[in-house]
Amino acid sequence: MLILLNEKTSHGYSLINRLPYFGFEPESINTSNIYRTLRSMEKEELVKSIWKESEQGPRKRVYQITQKGIKELEGWISFLKTRKNQIEKILSKYTLSKEDKND
């Protein structure tokens, strides 16, 4: 969710609607867990929230990434890049060994 909040300030429902882009099946997304995670991230000061008046319906809580959240996100991106490189090496090694066996 930090990556989504890094793009733009959002309310929880908007974040939930953007998760399928990353391969999450809409029916598998537990909205309670999303809001629980947002509250937890707020306690850790990774995000902050404010209440915004809505033109239609009740006020909405809007979440924004903090500087601490940006640093956390950068750490995760670095970790994921490292893992991606490791996975690519494993897949490359497998492909080469498979080709050698077919020759």
pLDDT band at 23 (very low <50, low <70, confident <90, very high): very high
Distance CA 66, CA 1 (A): 13
* Pairing label, strands 10-11, 60-65: antiparallel
| Report field, pTM of the whole predicted structure over 0.75 | yes
d(CA 13, CA 32): 11
Q: Which domain holds residue 74?
A: 2-102
d(C-alpha 26, C-alpha 16), whole Å: 8
What pLDDT digit, counting tens, does each position of 59-80 carry? 999 999 999 999 999 999 999 9
Per the structure, the count of domains in the chain is 1
Reported as a single tens digit per residue, the pLDDT across 77-86 is: 999 999 999 9
Q: Which CATH number belongs to the domain containing residue 61 in this structure?
A: 1.10.10.10
